Homo-oligomer: A and B are copies of this chain.
Amino acid sequence: MRDFNASNITQAVIDRMADTPDPRLRTVLSSLVRHLHAFVSEVELSFDEWQGAIGFLTRTGQMCDDHRQEFILLSDTLGVSMLVDAINHHMPPGATETTVLGPFYVKAAPLMPNGSDISGGLTGEPLLVRGSVASADGTPLADATVDVWHADDEGFYDVQRLDKLGNLAGRAQFRTDAAGRFSFWTIMPKWYPIPDDGPVGDMLKATARHPNRPAHMHFMIAADGHETLITHVFSAESPWLDSDAVFGVKTSLIAEFSSHEPGTAPDGREIASTYRCLDYTFGLKPRTADLSVPPRQDPG
């Protein structure tokens, strides 16, 4: 076939993929082509705008490295990440709501004993986090793996400052005890702007949007027989709760990081300064056969 025009090219591209062996990939790519072409047609994208888009996507890819994921930032700031989250997580009563993974998760953070201090030399207001992990029906989940990561008191993650820090900090893995509990000390995280010195920052500036996220702590909790929970707990006193740059705030995920005078903390530790406590119960959704995640389909 030859002589493609605005009326026939969309179907021609879809037809060209008709022999795709994986039916799910065929479905996803056909839909992508239809919606992408509909966008281009609707706005009558000019050649210069197309060139601008090619350059933007190229810069976005080239901004990525082991510790920066600009395409996740783009997905987050365009609301795509939260839409994927919403589509895939219909949570039953008792299960904690989910939110974005974000670009700062690191696989294989160090496994530490409960009660450890994970601040790794960061300075800031001490924070005791005590969590418990249960199935949605309230049954405690022992031996669950709890990944934690959070920003420091200036709003940076360890991976953004590795040269200066020399080690991971504000990041660790724990296992829940027989009662489903875990705990650790760290410092109070601050709200922060997402990295805005790249293409995503350019997009935010061009659209008159601020880059800020309210203060929060990331949790990824995995337990046998349950869907892995990816979520945050937000600080109730933080600014930006109503205009999170990545649309991630859910009311049920906002909690008090309570303030305490110097003295003996609930775990018996003597704290010489004011400090904070966060207590939070996480509910995990049981994995059922008919609700299981389909096998991964990489579009390439």
A6 cross-chain contacts in B, Cβ below 8 A: 83, 86-87
Report the minimal beta-carbon distance from A228 to chain B, rounded to whole angstroms: 9
Assuming the contacts A17-B209, A39-B32, A202-B300, asked whether A5 and B86 have C-beta atoms less than 8 A apart, the reply is yes
| Mask of A175-196 contacts with B, CB within 8 angstroms, 1/0 | 0000000000000000000000
Q: Is residue A54 contacting chain B, with contact meaning CB distance below 8 A?
A: yes
Q: Majority SS of interface residues in chain A? A: helix
Besides the known contacts A4-B247, A44-B87, A206-B299, 15 further A-B residue pairs in the complex with CB atoms under 8 A apart: A5-B86, A6-B83, A9-B82, A20-B207, A25-B206, A31-B39, A32-B43, A48-B293, A50-B84, A52-B296, A52-B298, A54-B69, A57-B61, A202-B300, A203-B300
Q: Is residue A274 contacting chain B, with contact meaning CB distance below 8 A?
A: no
Decide: A88 and B46 in contact? CB cutoff 8 A.
Answer: yes
A3 cross-chain contacts in B, Cβ below 8 A: 249-251
Q: Is residue A114 contacting chain B, with contact meaning CB distance below 8 A?
A: no
Chain A residues with a Cβ closer than 8 Å to the other chain, count = 93
| Shortest Cβ distance from A45 into B: residue | B84
Decide: B43 and A27 in contact? CB cutoff 8 A.
Answer: yes
Decide: B37 and A57 in contact? CB cutoff 8 A.
Answer: no
Bound together, the chains give a CA A222 to CA B25 distance in angstroms of 42
> Could you give 7 example pairs across A and B, Cβ below 8 Å?
A9-B82, A35-B38, A46-B293, A46-B297, A47-B84, A57-B71, A59-B61
Bound together, the chains give a CA A202 to CA B32 distance in angstroms of 17
| Shortest Cβ distance from A62 into B: residue | B61
A50 cross-chain contacts in B, Cβ below 8 A: 75, 80-81, 84
Report the minimal beta-carbon distance from A178 to chain B, rounded to whole angstroms: 30
Bound together, the chains give a CA A55 to CA B299 distance in angstroms of 9
A84-101 with Cβ < 8 A to chain B: 84-88
Decide: A37 and B71 in contact? CB cutoff 8 A.
Answer: no
Assuming the contacts A59-B300, A78-B33, A247-B13, asked whether A4 and B86 have C-beta atoms less than 8 A apart, the reply is yes
A45 cross-chain contacts in B, Cβ below 8 A: 28, 84, 87
Report the minimal beta-carbon distance from A276 to chain B, rounded to whole angstroms: 22
Residue from B10, B64, B294 in contact with A61 in the complex, judged by beta carbons closer than 8 Å = B64
Q: Is residue A272 contacting chain B, with contact meaning CB distance below 8 A?
A: no
Decide: A4 and B293 in contact? CB cutoff 8 A.
Answer: no
Bound together, the chains give a CA A258 to CA B29 distance in angstroms of 41
